[in-house]
């Protein structure tokens, strides 16, 4: 595959050892009978789906969670044989392919099962389709809400056990990363009410994302879906402290491609929104909003030689400009996320400036920014 961007000195560096360390810390906390499945959807939260999955497996992860079928197929194509759960709803027309690849899918309605049954029968599929029933305990996204509907679907699954393997049941908490646990406790009560109608529980029972496992460990079930904390990012941002030190795995760096003296009164970038108040040095950095470095980061800062340097003028599609403390050689390293000297810019810092969450910043880093892996 052609890598677009490999001839530009802009890159994401992913520390796979940090990922392994985060997993191993969680492995030490959880119950010995509870499995850890690495959530590697959205290209491993921007870190790289295959490389992260392989590192997670080495660290002790026994399964994977993704958002869409193609992500699961990519893991299978890479030779990963562990359980893979697609957390989103997959079109039932692909039921035969899903069964063949031994992929597990989330199911949120009896109608889905009926449609999938027809597809499996039409294709004479011999391998039961692995099903995890999704319960909507208050997330409002996918899943069963009524006990009667759930009970009827469970009965259908157990009756059609040559077509389906009722492998798991799960829910997702909306506020596990918040200090106020009122809504969390409401969801927990709904979850318990729903699973009470099932009788014998399936092999996998899971409710814990990173936040739930970090701050509500007693609810873990027998699988932890370890997501954003895998990458060393706190699910709550700055609201709650994690029970152990998370090690961020991602850094974003570039090099100065152009350095010039800007005279007092001259302006920078589109709209001339920045005008020099005095003579100053300006450096150009080869990254922009097409790379996932947000346009709204004008006024934020990068690190050059361990010093904070303000982003001046609007961030362009492919480049941005920074004010330097003095003349700096072309080719000097620029740190946009990471540590230089005794100063650090975190994904959380970038997200705070943008008024969003670090998940969005990491996932938004474009494919044309090459990923380099350290282990």
What tens digit of pLDDT does each residue of 254-279 get? 999 999 999 999 999 999 999 999 99
What confidence score (pLDDT) does residue 1 get?
A: 59
Residues 204 and 307 in one domain: no
Residues 146, 149, 153, 156: is their CA dihedral positive or negative? Answer: positive
Decide: 78 and 101 in contact? Cβ < 8 Å. no
Residues 44 and 132 in one domain: yes
Residues 225 and 257 in one domain: no
Residue 216 in any domain: the answer is yes
Residues 315 and 214 in one domain: no
Residue 83 in any domain: the answer is yes
Residues 321 and 178 in one domain: no
For residue 247, is pLDDT > 90?
yes
First to last CA, the chain: 23
Decide: 138 and 185 in contact? Cβ < 8 Å. no
Q: How many residues does the chain have?
A: 375
Interval 137-165 mean pLDDT: 95
- Residue 159, exposed/middle/buried by CB under 10 A (0-12, 13-18, 19+)? exposed
What confidence score (pLDDT) does residue 353 get?
A: 98
Q: How far apart are CA 353 and CA 334, in angstroms?
A: 19
Residue 286 in any domain: the answer is yes
Decide: 12 and 367 in contact? Cβ < 8 Å. no
Residue 119, CA distances (Å) to 123, 155, 235 in order: 6, 20, 39
Residues 225 and 265 in one domain: no
H runs (alpha helix) in 170-209:
182-195
Residue 21 in any domain: the answer is no
Instruction: Find out whether 261 is annotated in a ligand binding site.
Output: no
How is residue 64 annotated by DSSP? E
- Give the domain CATH number at 283: 2.40.37.10
Q: How far apart are CA 54 and CA 80, in angstroms?
A: 8
For residue 313, is pLDDT > 70?
yes
Residues 188 and 296 in one domain: no
The phi, psi pair for 154, rounded to 5°, reads -60, -45
Q: How far apart are CA 240 and CA 370, in angstroms?
A: 32
Last residue of a domain, one of 201, 231, 261: 231
Residue 6 in any domain: the answer is no
The β-bridge partners of 38 are: 64, 226
Indicate the Cα dihedral angle 228, 233, 239, 245, nearest 10°: 120
Share of the chain above pLDDT 70, in %: 99
- Tell how far CA 149 is from the center of its chain: 31
Residues 220 and 256 in one domain: no
Residues 214 and 141 in one domain: yes
The DSSP H or E segment spanning 157 is helix 147-159
- Residue 330, exposed/middle/buried by CB under 10 A (0-12, 13-18, 19+)? exposed
Nearest 5°: the CA angle 178, 20, 12 is 85
Last residue of a domain, one of 198, 231, 264: 231
Instruction: Find out whether 102 is annotated in a ligand binding site.
Output: no
Last residue of a domain, one of 165, 200, 231: 231
Residues 191 and 65 in one domain: yes
Q: Are strands 250-255 and 10-15 parallel, antiparallel or unpaired?
A: antiparallel
Q: How far apart are CA 230 and CA 321, in angstroms?
A: 33
Share of the chain above pLDDT 90, in %: 96
Where do we find the tokens 């004479």?
Answer: 124
What confidence score (pLDDT) does residue 220 get?
A: 86
Q: What is the mean pLDDT of the chain?
A: 97
Let me know if 270 is a catalytic residue.
yes
Q: How far apart are CA 77 and CA 101, in angstroms?
A: 10
- Give the domain CATH number at 147: 3.20.20.10
Q: What is the tens place of the pLDDT at every residue in 86-127?
A: 999 999 999 999 999 999 999 999 999 999 999 999 999 999
The phi, psi pair for 341, rounded to 5°, reads 70, -130
Decide: 23 and 36 in contact? Cβ < 8 Å. yes
Question: What domain count does the chain have?
Answer: 2
User: Which tokens in the block code for residue 355?
Assistant: 């008024």
Q: What is the tens place of the pLDDT at every residue in 346-370?
A: 999 999 999 999 999 999 999 999 9
Q: What is the tens place of the pLDDT at every residue in 179-231?
A: 999 999 999 999 999 999 999 999 999 999 999 999 999 888 999 999 999 99
User: Can you give the pTM of this predicted structure?
Assistant: 0.96
Catalytic residue among 20, 41, 274, 359: 41
Residue 11 in any domain: the answer is no
Catalytic residue among 192, 245, 264, 270: 270
Reported as a pLDDT band with limits 50, 70 and 90, residue 3 is confident
Q: What is the tens place of the pLDDT at every residue in 66-81?
A: 999 999 999 999 999 9
Residues 216 and 255 in one domain: no
Residues 324 and 181 in one domain: no
Q: What is the tens place of the pLDDT at every residue in 24-34?
A: 999 999 888 99
Residue 195 in any domain: the answer is yes
For residue 160, is pLDDT > 90?
no
Where do we find the tokens 């990519």?
Answer: 74
Residue 73 in any domain: the answer is yes
Domain range for 256 is 250-374
């Amino acid at each position: 595959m052609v890598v677009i961007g490999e001839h530009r000195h802009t890159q994401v560096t992913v520390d796979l050892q940090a990922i392994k360390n985060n997993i191993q810390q969680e492995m030490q906390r959880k119950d010995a009978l509870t499995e850890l499945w690495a959530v590697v959807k959205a290209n491993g939260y921007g870190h790289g789906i295959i490389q992260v999955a392989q590192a997670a497996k080495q660290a002790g992860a026994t399964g994977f969670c993704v958002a869409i079928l193609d992500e699961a197929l990519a893991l299978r194509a890479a030779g990963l044989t562990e359980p893979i759960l697609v957390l989103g709803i997959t079109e039932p027309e692909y039921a035969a392919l899903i069964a063949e690849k031994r992929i597990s899918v989330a199911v949120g309605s009896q109608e889905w099962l009926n449609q999938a049954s027809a597809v499996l029968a039409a294709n004479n599929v011999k391998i039961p389709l692995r099903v995890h029933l999704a319960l909507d305990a208050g997330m409002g996204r996918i899943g069963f809400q009524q006990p009667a509907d759930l009970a009827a679907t469970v009965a259908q699954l157990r009756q059609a056990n040559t077509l389906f393997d009722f492998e798991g049941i799960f829910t997702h908490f909306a506020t596990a990363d918040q200090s106020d646990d009122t809504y969390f406790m409401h969801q927990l009560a709904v979850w318990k009410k729903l699973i009470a109608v099932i009788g014998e529980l399936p092999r996998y029972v899971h409710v814990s994302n990173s936040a739930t496992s970090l701050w509500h460990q007693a609810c873990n079930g027998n699988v932890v879906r370890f997501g954003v904390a895998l990458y060393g990012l706190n699910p709550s941002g700055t609201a709650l402290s994690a029970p152990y030190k998370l090690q961020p795995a991602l850094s974003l760096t570039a090099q100065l491609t152009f350095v010039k003296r800007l005279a007092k009164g001259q302006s920078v970038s589109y709209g001339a929104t920045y005008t020099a108040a005095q003579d100053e040095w300006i450096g150009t950095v080869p990254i922009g909003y097409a790379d996932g470095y947000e346009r709204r980061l004008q006024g934020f800062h990068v690190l050059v030689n361990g010093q904070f340097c303000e982003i001046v003028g609007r961030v362009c599609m492919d480049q941005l400009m920074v004010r330097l403390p003095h003349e700096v050689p072309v080719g000097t390293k620029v740190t946009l996320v990471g540590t230089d000297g005794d100063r650090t810019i975190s994904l959380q810092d970038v997200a705070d400036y943008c008024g969003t969450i670090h998940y969005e910043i990491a996932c938004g880093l474009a494919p044309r920014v090459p990923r380099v892996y350290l282990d």
